[in-house]
Amino acid sequence: MRGNKQADKERINQDIRVPEVRLVLDDGTQKGVVTIQEALDIADEHGLDLVEVAPNAKPPVCRVMDYGKFKFEKNKKDREARKKQRQNQIETKEIKFRPKIEDHDYNVKLKHIKRFLDEGNKVKLVIRFRGREMMFQNNGIELLKRVTEDVKGLGVVEKTPEMQGRQQIMIIGPDPQGGQPQQGKSE
């Protein structure tokens, strides 16, 4: 596994094929330019690996270190970076309505919208019209206005209602103030 050049970018131990290297010890001190055999012997004495960290330097820079620990720490940093990147992404959640919706159904969907906005996600509201409902598009606009009023303070309208075929679509994003009282007014 250690010699797998596709998975590992660094060459280690016997994979290093140069006559001389600039050696850095495990405590960070520089040993200087030594032969590859001498560098391998020093790494072996310490019970560690010889890892090529700067292959393009003249001569290449190698470091005595625990390669398994080094890879573990590197993978851990990469995972943390991906996790932070994923946390910063905003998702768009979709909630579908019909123009004639009962109060209980509306309240359940409103609760979901509020939760999505609290989590920092955008919400795409879709009202589907079927058959003769197309004649009553103003009911859809009234419903979207009602949702906008009910989420005031949690979300702001990012895309005003528009018709796309038989659907009316509006997008609400999280409020930058997040419903928090403004600091200037509390004093």
User: Residue 170's pLDDT is what?
Assistant: 94
Share above pLDDT 90 across residues of the chain, in percent, rounded to a whole number: 37
Is 70 exceeded by the pLDDT of residue 181? no
Is 80 exceeded by the pLDDT of residue 2? no
Confidence at 90, pLDDT banded by 50, 70, 90: confident
User: Residue 8's pLDDT is what?
Assistant: 57
Dist. CA 154–CA 160, nearest whole Å: 17
H/E element holding 147?
helix 137-150
Please tell me whether residue 24 adopts helix, strand or coil conformation: strand
Dist. CA 177–CA 181, nearest whole Å: 8
Is 80 exceeded by the pLDDT of residue 186? no
Is 60 exceeded by the pLDDT of residue 179? no
Tens of pLDDT along 10-38? 788 888 888 899 999 988 888 889 998 99
Tens of pLDDT along 93-135? 999 999 889 999 999 999 999 999 988 889 999 999 998 888 8
User: Do the beta carbons of residue 179 and residue 154 sit within 8 Å?
Assistant: yes
Region 35-46 average pLDDT: 90
What domains can you pick out in the chain, each with its CATH number? 13-68 (3.10.20.80), 89-176 (3.30.110.10)
What does the DSSP 8-state code read for residue 19? Answer: S
DSSP string, 75-133: HHHHHHHHHHHHHHPPPEEEEEE-SS--HHHHHHHHHHHHHHHHTT-EEEEEEE--GGG
Dist. CA 69–CA 75, nearest whole Å: 10
